[in-house]
Amino acid sequence: MNVTFKAAVAALVLTVAFARSVAAGPLEDALDAAQRGDYATAIRLWRPLADKGEADAQYNLGVMYDKGQGVTRDYVVAVSWFRKAADQGFAAAQLSLGVMYENGLYRFHIRVS
């Protein structure tokens, strides 16, 4: 198992543990739904939070699109959500972006403002 993958797994475990300890309401309910495999409920609860700028929800939606859980796998959409969370300093999202770039799952592109 390579070091990058181990670091990504460790970051995900820490993120989930931290999120569970401080989250309340829809964020926690969505996490519980995702862990049960009820991805439709998780997405329904996370999307409004992500749209409002909640980094945890943005990261979690990125994971759903990266893995194709409850949605069609779409690396471009996953990167978009990861980037939104990463831009807020969310370390797990920053790591996920790096892993996607390293593995060639998404190519760097130039954003036009």
* Burial of 80 per CB tally in 10 Å (0-12, 13-18, 19+): middle
CA distance 40 to 30: 9
Domain limits, the chain: 3-102
Of 56, 53, 31, the C-alpha closest to 42 is 31
Structure tokens belonging to residue 107: 């190519």
CA distance 45 to 41: 6
Q: What is the pLDDT along the chain (113 residues), one digit of tens a residue?
A: 566 666 555 556 556 555 554 546 999 999 999 999 999 999 999 999 999 999 999 999 999 999 999 999 999 999 999 999 999 999 999 999 998 888 777 655 444 44
3-102 CATH choice from 3.90.45.10, 3.30.110.60, 1.25.40.10, 3.40.50.1110: 1.25.40.10
